[in-house]
Amino acid sequence: MPPSFLDSGPPFQNQFRRSRTPPVEAQLPKTAPISQFEPLNREEEMDRRQVLGFAGAAISVAAFAPARAFADAAKGSQIASGGLLIDGNLMPPLDPEAPLDEEFAALVRSSGLTALKMTLGGSGNLDKAQTDADIADVGKAIDKNPQLFTRIRAPSDFVEAKRSGKVGIIFSFEAGEMLEGKVDNIDHFRQAGVLVMGLTYNRETPFGSGVLSRNPTGLTRLGREAVARMNARGVSVDISHCDEATSLAAITASRAPVLVTHAGCAAIYKHPRNKSDALLRALAKKGGVVGIYELSFLVPYPAQPDIADYISHLDHALKVCGEDHVGIGTDGPLTPFDTSPQSMAAWNAEIERRKKSGVSAPGEGPPPFVIGLNRPDRYSVIADAMAARGYRSRTIEKVLGENFARVFAETWKSEPQ
């Protein structure tokens, strides 16, 4: 069977079904030496998000920064519980073979999410056929949990997801390799329900250059055709992993707003995956949205970012882009990342594989979470922090979900053929 994000095999399948090791994020010093997480020498063909998908563990309340630490916590939490919550990039716990048990289901419900955008098709390591299998597996997993998850196929589905209390799942790509250099494959995957697509992962593709491209091309002629086809078929264009030249050209070429669903701000910490002010301004001017992620790239390696670091990037994006153009794009697991030795060994083995394959960004290694946000209800914590900094309720509502909902509504409209 072709590899998919669900075809992880031991230990991840077993960990997902049985592990109950609580997260220990509060025990991690902010500048924890990376020697605590020494990579193991193991070759496994799995995407980083395969590890994330099976990294959930039970909540440990003591490990979380208490909400009362924020001056206006009640205000922020009330906003988070009442409006649309949409995460621009998140990995839910899914299993195509069996429904989630009640403990995992409770974790999902506790997130308060209306919907999340889920990456399929790997990080440039899956072809068209393998991605078809990936899509089929995720569909099976959703069908196993009809009381918990629902597919998002149109903007109106957000309202129904909120009404029903289910978490809507938006199918998406952040790489371009599964298109195999053929613009017609955009039509193929749009028919399969993929609503957000990238042009590149970290390396170059026939469409453009990734943030780690050794021979940058910028947006190619075929890339312009791909952007036009995505616009025409009602697909959101995601440039999270494209380099600056490709990104700026894609924004210019697109007839609709463009997304950076998960990134940070280069002005706060310069890193290939963080975006410049010039790019953020261009994105906002076109009507797009940037989702702030929770990866270690928010701070210098090997530090583990905390909530203050996260809010620094969010603050900066709001100042540069304005309140209509910023969202949340976690880029990690919905359930708490498990920092047990077994989980960290698997994580480090995957980082080693990514390094060898050439897709690893500089400084990969620290686990994918922000201290204080390694919990399903991270959105309430973010809302509390924003309220404590004086952000008005309307701004918080937009950041937590309304901005992404607006762009999805504007970009999922197919043009007459």
Read off the pLDDT of each residue in 44-68 and give the average, rounded to a whole number.
33
- pLDDT mean over 286-313: 98
**Structure confidence at residue 29 (pLDDT):** 33
Q: What is the mean pLDDT of residues 307-329?
A: 98
**Residue 375's closest CA among 414, 316, 334?**
334
Cα 275 from chain centre: 16
Asked whether the predicted pLDDT for residue 181 surpasses 50, the reply is yes
Q: What is the average pLDDT score of the chain?
A: 85
Task: Say how far apart CA 213 and CA 202 lie, in whole Å.
Answer: 7
What percent of the chain lies above the pLDDT cut of 90? 79
**Residue 66 pLDDT class (50, 70, 90 cuts):** very low
Minimum mean pLDDT range among 65-69, 138-142, 235-239, 379-383: 65-69
Assess whether pLDDT exceeds 50 at residue 7: no
Residue range 213-267, pLDDT digits in tens: 999 999 999 999 999 999 999 999 999 999 999 999 999 999 999 999 999 999 9
| Per-residue pLDDT tens digits for 374-395 | 999 999 999 999 999 999 999 9
H-only helix segments in 165-270? 184-191, 221-233, 244-253
Q: What's the rounded mean pLDDT across residues 23-48?
A: 32
Per-residue pLDDT for 39 more than 70?
no
Residue 416's pLDDT is what?
62
* Pairwise pLDDT comparison (417 vs 61), residue with the higher score: 417
> Mean pLDDT across the stretch 279-300?
98
Q: Would the pLDDT of 49 be above 60?
A: no
User: How large is the average pLDDT for residues 28-35?
Assistant: 31
Task: For residue 406, count other CB atoms closer than 10 A to its CB.
Answer: 18
Higher pLDDT, 188 or 60: 188
Collapsing DSSP to helix, strand or coil, 280 comes out as: helix
Q: Is the pLDDT of residue 62 over 70?
A: no
Burial classification of residue 216, based on how many CB atoms lie within 10 Å of its CB (0-12 exposed, 13-18 middle, 19 or more buried) = middle
Rounded mean pLDDT, 11-35: 32
pLDDT of residue 10: 25
Distance of CA 391 to the CA centre of its chain: 24
Q: 76: pLDDT confidence band, cut at 50, 70 and 90?
A: confident
The answer for residues whose C-beta is within 8 angstroms of residue 322's C-beta and 6 or more apart is: 284
Q: What pLDDT, on a 0 to 100 scale, did the predictor assign at position 397? A: 97
